[in-house]
């Protein structure tokens, strides 16, 4: 089995920790309330219950209680909740990551912050600096708009910065409050599917090329591919009452038909093949996307167990999800090169190799 070759200093994943908000959404309860809201009457259950059952999700976490979703809310109200809760969740994840790495906030040289579910100016990293004692000279790189692809692309950007400054310690911050985007008056199919799919979460990772971290998982190489004429596949539209979810029903077919060539080209460019891989770390856009990914990689049905477990327990947390999966796999003690993949707005495939 070959290992991924990285030119120059090797970025290492020194620590990776996650955080979840306190409110638990039970899928059965969500389904019951959504059916009463969207399709009251004798036929509503038969028409809508498959959406919640087929999602293969049992629980999700939310920064607001479930009753909040039964009322209309303005964009400013949603965004105020986003700013408050995103900052709090990031602080929780960062504290855990720093403790795991044996570091203090003052030891961090750069903050790379990924989020696409709210508007923050000043950015979330600046807000985090008001509640955690980072140096006032810390570099800040907030990144918006990557959607689900942001977990892998965030790692890629943080790893590139670590390679550029090998003595630096980079802190990657990823937070998404997807559930806040639910719009009470939106009866579109995309919004219905979102009620069955999205959850909230955060992750923080310490990344560095310093010699003392030589035994930690190696990050890279990374790659990405953005398809032409695909802006309408996934993303947000801005409505008066918030961000309106946009995704195409054709995503599983796109994965089956168009993703294999992108994966093969990336691996070939890096001198690798699928035979060199010890496993996969895949963002689960949904259960059907995982089915498609298993076909693409020639895996047995339902073999992406860690991705399915995170989806089942936390739902789709957009960019955060793949980091929950990676942490779960690292805790299991996986070894060897693993291919990380996510798909996000653009329409973009993000790829990377992590080698514990």
Catalytic residues: 148
H/E segment holding residue 67 = none
Question: Which own/partner pairs from 276-279 qualify as long-range (CB within 8 Å, at least 24 positions apart)?
Answer: 276/1, 276/2, 276/3, 276/337, 277/336, 277/337, 277/338, 277/339, 278/1, 278/334, 278/335, 278/336, 278/337, 278/338, 279/329, 279/334, 279/336, 279/338, 279/339
H/E segment holding residue 9 = none
What SS3 class is residue 13? strand
- 129 within 8 A of 171, measured Cβ to Cβ: no
Distance CA 312, CA 59 (A): 7
- Could you tell me which residues come within 8 angstroms of residue 305 by beta carbon, excluding any fewer than 6 positions away? none
Q: Which two tokens stand for residue 3?
A: 């290992």
């Amino acid at each position: 089995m070959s290992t991924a070759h990285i030119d120059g200093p090797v970025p290492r994943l020194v620590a990776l920790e996650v955080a979840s908000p306190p409110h638990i959404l039970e899928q059965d309860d969500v389904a019951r309330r959504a059916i009463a809201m969207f399709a009251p009457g004798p036929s509503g259950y038969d028409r809508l219950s498959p959406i919640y059952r087929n999602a293969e999700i049992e629980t999700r976490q939310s920064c607001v209680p479930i009753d909040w979703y039964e009322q209309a809310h303005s964009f400013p109200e949603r965004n105020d909740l986003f700013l408050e809760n995103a900052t709090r969740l990031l602080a929780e994840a960062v504290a855990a990551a720093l403790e795991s790495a044996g570091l203090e906030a003052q030891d961090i040289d750069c903050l790379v912050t990924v989020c696409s579910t709210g508007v923050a100016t000043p950015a979330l990293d600046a807000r985090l600096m008001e509640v955690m004692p980072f140096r006032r000279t810390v570099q800040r790189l907030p990144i918006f708009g990557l959607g689900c692809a942001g977990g892998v692309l965030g790692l890629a950007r943080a790893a590139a910065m670590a390679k550029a400054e090998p003595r630096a310690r980079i802190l990657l911050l990823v937070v998404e409050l997807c559930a806040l985007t639910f719009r009470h008056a939106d009866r579109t199919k995309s919004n219905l599917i979102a009620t069955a799919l999205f959850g909230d979460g955060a992750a923080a990772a310490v990344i560095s090329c310093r010699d003392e971290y030589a035994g930690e998982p190696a990050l890279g190489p990374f790659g990405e591919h953005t398809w032409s004429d695909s802006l309408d596949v996934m993303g947000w539209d801005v409505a008066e009452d918030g961000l309106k979810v946009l995704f195409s029903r054709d995503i599983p077919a796109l994965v089956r038909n168009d993703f294999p060539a992108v994966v093969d080209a990336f691996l070939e460019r890096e001198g690798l093949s699928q035979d060199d891989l010890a496993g996969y770390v895949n963002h689960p856009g949904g259960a059907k996307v995982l089915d498609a990914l298993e076909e693409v990689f020639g895996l047995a049905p339902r073999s992406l167990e860690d991705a399915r477990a995170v989806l089942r327990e936390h739902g789709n947390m957009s960019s955060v999800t793949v980091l929950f999966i990676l942490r779960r796999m690292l805790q299991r003690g996986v070894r060897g090169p693993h291919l990380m993949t996510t798909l996000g707005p653009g329409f973009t495939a993000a790829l990377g190799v992590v080698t514990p």
